[in-house]
A = this chain, B = another copy of it.
Amino acid sequence: MTLVAGLDIGGTKTLAVAIGPGGDVVATTRGPTRSGDPATVAAHAVATLGELAGAAGIEVGELAAVGIGLPGIVDTDRGEVRHAVNLGIDRQPAPLGRDVEVATGVPTVVVNDVDAAAVGAVELLGGHDSDLAYLSIGTGVAAGLVLSGQLRRGAHGAAGEIGHVVLDPSGPECPCGQRGCLEVLVSGPAIARRWPAADGAPVATHLVTAAAAGDEGAMALLAEIAGHLASAVQLLALAVDPQRIVLGGGVTEAGPPLADAVRSSLAARARAVPLLAELALADRVTVLPPGAAPGATGAAVLASARWSSQAAVT
């Protein structure tokens, strides 16, 4: 059986899936990310592929293709990554694709993790909604766009980078140099600053739990964050108008209460603004099932597509 591997290498953890020809998941692994410099990231990817292949009962070299999603600016054509700050990769392009190909002998595609997650979300939603934005809310905030079935990277690879759109010019300072960016209002670190959790505990879950228990400060903060996320949904709908807007990333691991709060905020806007009512924003907000791995899935789908098109040519 021909298997394709997809890796989602995050700042702290790595998810991997091996999928078969029909898109069925044959094996998965999950573990901590080892990083610090480009060579360590490449070695970590190769080791992860070894574990994944073992779980699927094959040798690494038997994989048909490998897709690797990771945060940073990715040049997919060259297989290079830069500015993956959480992994120890700086502005110097790291040739991750070539390194993994050399070590494994398997054709390897490197993609931005949020772009991969958007493609994965299409797959995980059954492939029927091939027009969506995947809004990743974690350490960083950015969207991946699949428009009419095509991944939109943009002329400078920046499509969907709405984390640095200013929502409130009088808002808090963002490390980027602006004030009131979406990212500085809703990211995991932004929530942690205002509602600190015990070391390592998931900050959004901590906040949602406190709000559910009736803590008024937590309820107010949750409503405020949901309002900013509603602004992000509105922004995506007015700018690119995708059929669905999927909320994902670490912050959404807090579960249904966060997405429900975003929908409530959108419903309130629709009551006040007829234009927004026509856009049915609340109905378009979707979350993936618990345990879904859109980044790894999408990386595998993209690797599979690239491999198929090359196989067709040769």
Contacts and interface: CB of A to CB of B under 8 A. Distances in A.
A236 B236 CA distance: 10
Interface size class of A (residues with CB under 8 A): 35 or more
Contacts of A166: 167, 231
A239 B159 contact: yes
A250 to B, nearest CB: 21
A237 B165 CA distance: 10
Interface stretch (A53-61, A93-101, A169-177, A188-196): A169-177
Given A148-B150, A150-B148, A234-B165, A156 B274 contact: no
Contacts of A113: none
B238 A240 contact: no
A152 interface: yes
B239 A235 contact: yes
A241 B177 contact: no
Interface string A136-171: 000000000101101011111111111011111110
8 contacts: A152-B240, A156-B241, A156-B278, A164-B276, A165-B235, A166-B167, A178-B272, A239-B239
Nearest 5 A-B pairs (CB), nearest first?
Answer: A154-B241, A177-B273, A239-B239, A159-B241, A155-B243
